[in-house]
Structure 1
């Protein structure tokens, strides 16, 4: 059985790779993601997989390696790149994350509405690289969820 990871998806420049580095405890330079990158705990998905509908099939194929999906919405731009009900194509739990919450706070309501329209249930996490506590809270939540999911799989055997 393959290790399940947390899939991180979102539009280009919304902070996916920065978040992935934090979740994987990776120190070092951040490079633009051109392909799916399987990290210690995550799958980093390039923005092009979301921004080009013809690539959805690759995204849906890769999600079989995921225990959870993080769908990111960028508060600094709040561009709507997801189709209505998009989150419902995934069979694993989907968690909504609003990134760059320290930029353009007037966009928060639009970001929340967008997460609701694409079918992501609350709670939503609001994170910023300027606030390490926000990322730490998300990390703790995910660790608890992933550990619980792994234990359920182990005990079903």
Structure 2
């Protein structure tokens, strides 16, 4: 089974835009209520994170199909439905991503980053496709954490230790 970068966030948080950056090309898919598999990315619908009873499904998908996970928070709303410490339950590298950050004040950016840390992300980036801020760092993180964990066929090179 091919491992992908899992992109998680509420509707409108920028999942498809981030996925387009990772893929290197835009997608023509419309808003979906189901999982969207691309060659390097697995987009998880916002409804999955809004409904806490779906959180275990996201964990299962990550365990079986993802090399890394990106947890997005929309800079326009700073709204988060992530449970406290949720990202720490994953056995893959996880990165918090604050999107649409070009217009944010220092305080708003700090509040968004704080929410990502509260969600359990040990690393977080502020990204703006409008200005290009953080885009290179995001792609470098993915290349360093997710793609190095996959071999040419898309399988993990090393499996994390299960407890």
Mind listing any 5+ residue stretches in structure 2 that lack a counterpart? none
Provide the rounded CA distance (Å) in 1 between the counterparts of 2:119 and 2:100.
Answer: 19
RMSD over aligned CA atoms reads 2.1
Shift of 1:119: 1.2
Partner of 1:141: 141
In the alignment, the residues of structure 1 paired with residue 137 and residue 118 of structure 2 have an alpha-carbon distance, to the nearest angstrom, of 24
TM-score scaled by length of structure 2? 0.84
User: After superposition, where does 1:1-157 map in structure 2 within 5 Å?
Assistant: 2-29=1-28, 31-63=30-62, 64-105=64-105, 106-122=107-123, 124-132=124-132, 134-150=134-150, 153-154=156-157
Aligned residues: 154
Contact map agreement 1:17 1:32 (CA 8 A) in 2: no
Q: Which runs of 5+ in 1 are unaligned?
A: none
* Shift, 1:150, TM fit: 2.6
Could you say which structure has the higher helix fraction? 1
Higher relative contact order (CA closer than 8 Å, sequence separation 6+):
2
After superposition, what is the alpha-carbon deviation per residue over 1:93-150, rounded to whole angstroms, capped at 9, x for unaligned?
111111000133241111111111111102x221112123632331122112223323
Q: Distance in 1 between matches of 2:125 and 2:69?
A: 13
Check conservation: 1:17, 1:33, Cα contact below 8 A.
Answer: no
* TM-score scaled by length of structure 1: 0.87
